[in-house]
Amino acid sequence: MGFRFLHTADWQLGKTFGSFDVETSQRLQQARFDMIDRVAAAARAADMAHVLVAGDVFDHRYPAQTVLSRAVDRMAQAQDLTWWLLPGNHDPAGTDSLWERLMKAGLPDNLRPLITPEPVKAEEGVWILPAPWDTKRPGRDLTETFQNMATSPGLRIGLAHGGVEAFGSDPDERQVIAQDRADTADLTYLALGDWHGARRAGVRAWYPGTPEPDSFTNNDRGKVLIVDTDTPDAPELVTVGQFVWRSPTLELEPEQDVQEALDALFPTAERLDQYLVKLTLVGQATLAEQLALERRLKMERARLAYLDVDTDALRTAADQASWQEMLDDGALADVAKTLSTDAEQGDEVAEEAERLLAGFAQG
């Protein structure tokens, strides 16, 4: 067994989730702080002493003091762990940065911001090589410095943030990280951040993704990586995320069992108050089925943290029985009566509408 540590990134503490209602956005914000406890628990369960956070610890360059204080308190509480914190593009280092504020206020010994690109000894024979962002747009591959970073013999663990060659979201190609950096800079492992899903990013290089999911995009979110330097290309993925974000599409056909289809989407045994669901309905359903669907979704909405239903692509299927039922004793009976009275008084539009309504009712 080699040196083992927990690799995480993209916490984005203080993210506000403004597109949700106030209660939901507050719950999501709170979940990101609670996540620190869950990361600590995952580290302890794997019997490790070091947590490496590969950038974007904070969502914003100038977070509110409450955000900074809460983050520090949560990490300080886990006294058995050392938290190595790298500035990323959301929270770059530099003059007047949040990192300066934190250090000026005084940090507990187990919190270690890595604001300069210099190797730091984590343990005897274990070096962390950081590539902190010191501006929003460095315009170069910050991991290049690893190649000239001398350390005494031992393990060299790179800690960096940004997109890599071949994929990533950085539009500035000059600052994209070389996929073979672990080879060219003689790294045991390259701990990366920026990509929000967990995935391999090159030679002995991985993204853990964000440990608390933050969008409906379906990639591997809510994980941390347990890394063993003996097997750097096969870290263990451990789930720590609290909220579940789903964006299912349900294709409907007339006369199918809609309730059964929904049972699968909203299982009874799950804690659905931690689910955010964006449901897209496509296909065809009769009016009666749509009403039943609406009633059911109203119930489910009460169980969920959030439900959005998109029915733009759902067509209404002709269904004689349900029209007749509504004409007999439903809301349409009143409409039919009014149309009929108006038509008798010579209203041509009402007469035409009455004719159409009768046509629907007769199929």
Cα–Cα distance, 107 to 275 (Å, whole number) = 35
Q: Least CB distance from residue 194 to Mn ion, whole Å?
A: 4
Q: Least CB distance from residue 213 to Mn ion, whole Å?
A: 16
Q: Which is nearer to Mn ion, 88 or 235 (CB)?
A: 88
Q: Which is nearer to Mn ion, 88 or 208 (CB)?
A: 88
Count CB atoms within 10 A of the CB of residue 222. Answer: 23
Contact call for residue 210 and Mn ion (CB under 5 A): no
Q: Least CB distance from residue 88 to Mn ion, whole Å?
A: 5
Contact call for residue 242 and Mn ion (CB under 5 A): no
Contact call for residue 12 and Mn ion (CB under 5 A): no
Q: Which is nearer to Mn ion, 117 or 163 (CB)?
A: 163
Contact call for residue 89 and Mn ion (CB under 5 A): yes
Q: Least CB distance from residue 56 to Mn ion, whole Å?
A: 4
Q: Determine the interface stretch with Mn ion among 55-63, 145-153, 226-234, 344-352 (rule: CB under 5 A).
A: 55-63
Contact call for residue 319 and Mn ion (CB under 5 A): no
Q: Which is nearer to Mn ion, 210 or 284 (CB)?
A: 210
Q: Which is nearer to Mn ion, 3 or 11 (CB)?
A: 11
Q: How far is CA 35 from CA 98, 161, 191, 216, in A?
A: 21, 20, 19, 19
Token pair recorded at residue 354? 């009455």
Number of chain positions touching Mn ion (CB under 5 A): 4
For the packed helices 331-344 and 320-329, what is the interaxial angle rounded to 10 degrees?
70
Q: Which is nearer to Mn ion, 9 or 28 (CB)?
A: 9
Contact call for residue 91 and Mn ion (CB under 5 A): no
Q: Least CB distance from residue 54 to Mn ion, whole Å?
A: 9
182 in Cβ contact with 159 (< 8 Å): no
Q: Least CB distance from residue 4 to Mn ion, whole Å?
A: 25
Q: Which is nearer to Mn ion, 156 or 221 (CB)?
A: 221
Contact call for residue 175 and Mn ion (CB under 5 A): no
Token pair recorded at residue 195? 């990509």
User: Can you point out the beta strands (E) in the chain?
Assistant: 4-8, 50-53, 82-85, 111-113, 120-123, 126-130, 155-161, 189-193, 199-202, 205-207, 223-228, 236-239, 244-246, 249-252, 275-286, 306-310, 314-317
Cα–Cα distance, 283 to 289 (Å, whole number) = 12
Of 7, 17, 51, 56, the one binding Mn ion (CB under 5 A) is 56
Q: Least CB distance from residue 158 to Mn ion, whole Å?
A: 16
Amino acid letter, 102: L
Contact call for residue 194 and Mn ion (CB under 5 A): yes
Cα–Cα distance, 155 to 128 (Å, whole number) = 8
72 in Cβ contact with 102 (< 8 Å): yes
Q: Determine the interface stretch with Mn ion among 37-45, 98-106, 192-200, 249-257 (rule: CB under 5 A).
A: 192-200
Cα–Cα distance, 146 to 345 (Å, whole number) = 88
Q: Which is nearer to Mn ion, 86 or 258 (CB)?
A: 86
Cα–Cα distance, 184 to 191 (Å, whole number) = 15
Task: Give me the residues that bind Mn ion (CB under 5 A), please.
Answer: 56, 88-89, 194
